[in-house]
Amino acid sequence: MKNPVRDLPLAMFLGIFFVMLFYVMAAVSYSATLGYGVVRVSETVALTLAIRVLNQAYFIIPILICCSTFGATNGNFYASGSVIASAGFSGDLPLVFSMVHKTSRTPIVALFVELALSMIFISFKFQVLLNYAAFISWVIYLVSFCALLKLKLTSKNQPKLKIFRMPIIFIFPMILVCIFTVVMCFYLKPIGCGVFAAIIIVIFGFQFIPDELTSIGIFTNLHHKLVGTLIARCNLVPATSDDVS
């Protein structure tokens, strides 16, 4: 990006605007074509619309939805893998999580971690999984906006940190929206969201444990052996700054 001060906020706001516009247009088309009564009771509104409008060619809509879902999932898969690898590189997670393929530089270990978590969550019912995913996502959004607010308030005398300016008037409403969504997720699924909240707190709490308490001999030796095995047999190497930047 040649001019992040100009291009980054422009890309963000235009992208958000057009996504919102397309969603609103889709919702209007559903209601205008099917009527509110059908939209309210239908579990697959897009498919119902396709059957009514496209007749025998209705299968095109599910195919397009699958392509869209696959693209979004693929992007999230690699983005999340990069986050895990970056955490391993920076020391927030053990070094083994930052291991990448020697040639392709793909974060193999991080992707396998995501695969394992996906295999666990695939046993959940869709609506339950959707609620949990929304809870985790909005918790992350809440933390991100709080961090942005902190940077906004503490970096006034550090112009190098200001890649672009975010008006503070936009931050507070988003924090309120995040809090409302997280509370609603708790209201709908208090036990499940409580478990996920506890997991997040425990993982976050590990960041404050002194290094001398985490450097237990047996675990350190096992970690070193695992890293050595991955390097010797799986063609993996620890990530560099270029891999996680």
Q: Amino acid identity of 148? A: L
Q: What is the pLDDT of residues 55-107, one digit of tens each?
A: 877 788 888 888 888 888 888 888 888 888 888 888 777 788 888 888 888 88
Rg (CA), the chain: 22
Residue 237 gets the label, from left (phi > 0), alpha (psi -120 to 50) or beta, of: beta
Asked if 171 contacts 144 with a C-beta cutoff of 8 angstroms, the reply is no
Q: What is the pLDDT of residues 195-208, one digit of tens each?
A: 878 877 777 766 66
Q: How many CB atoms lie within 10 A of CB 57?
A: 10
Residue 117 gets the label, from left (phi > 0), alpha (psi -120 to 50) or beta, of: alpha
C-alpha 194/C-alpha 189 separation (Å) is: 8
Give the single-character DSSP code of 98. Answer: G
Q: What is the pLDDT of residues 116-166, one digit of tens each?
A: 888 887 877 777 777 777 888 888 888 888 888 888 777 666 555 555 566
The contacts of residue 190 (CB under 8 Å, 6+ apart) are none
pTM of the predicted protein model = 0.65
